[in-house]
């Protein structure tokens, strides 16, 4: 029995099994910079408007919501167009009050859960690191 061949075969098998694992972990680059963001509204009020901006720029662009995302757990998926993964996301509730989540990594999220802060904290910036 020759043992000298068992090491190269074992190394080949280990390398062969590692390649698919690397391929699965790499996220595909979306065509045309389109990303989809699932929103779950855990707040009490409906979200009537959604806007995004590059982090820290404050130049918000409206994102088409279609219908309002009702409070209490309603969800919606929106299309974001841009080259990056990180955005400041601003929500406007049906009451007219606004809330901003800063530096949200939309590429690393399954869903963005919007939580309603206490009334005295609305219109303030809330940093999030999902």
pTM of the entire structure? 0.67
pLDDT tens, N- to C-terminus, the chain (130 residues): 454 544 444 444 444 444 444 333 344 555 567 888 999 999 989 999 999 999 999 899 999 998 999 999 999 999 998 878 999 999 999 988 899 999 999 888 889 999 876 666 555 444 343 3
CATH number of domain containing 63: 2.60.40
Nearest to 63 by CA among 54, 50, 81: 50
Is 6 a domain residue? no
- What phi and psi values does residue 116 have, to the nearest 5 degrees? -85, 120
Is 70 a domain residue? yes
Is 26 a domain residue? no
Is 15 a domain residue? no
Is 5 a domain residue? no
The residue written with tokens 């409906």 in the block is 46
What is the number of domains present in the chain? 1
Distances, alpha carbon 83 to alpha carbons 20, 31, 59, in Å: 27, 10, 16
- Other CB atoms within 10 A of residue 107 CB: 13
Report the C-alpha gap between 77 and 88 in whole angstroms.
Answer: 17
Q: Residue 51 sits in which domain range?
A: 31-127
Is 59 a domain residue? yes
Locate 50 and state its tokens: 């959604």
- What phi and psi values does residue 41 have, to the nearest 5 degrees? -90, 100
């Amino acid at each position: 029995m020759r043992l000298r061949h068992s090491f190269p075969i074992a190394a080949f098998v280990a390398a062969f099994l590692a390649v698919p694992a690397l391929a699965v972990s790499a996220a595909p680059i979306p065509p045309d910079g389109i990303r989809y963001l699932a929103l779950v509204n855990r707040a009490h009020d409906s979200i009537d408007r959604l806007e995004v901006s590059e982090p820290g720029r404050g130049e918000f662009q409206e994102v088409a919501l279609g219908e309002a995302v009702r409070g209490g757990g309603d969800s919606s998926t929106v299309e974001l167009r841009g080259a990056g993964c990180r955005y400041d996301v601003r929500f406007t509730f049906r009451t007219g009050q606004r809330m901003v989540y800063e530096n949200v990594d939309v590429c690393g999220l399954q869903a963005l859960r919007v939580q309603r802060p206490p009334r005295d904290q609305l219109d303030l910036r809330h940093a999030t690191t999902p």
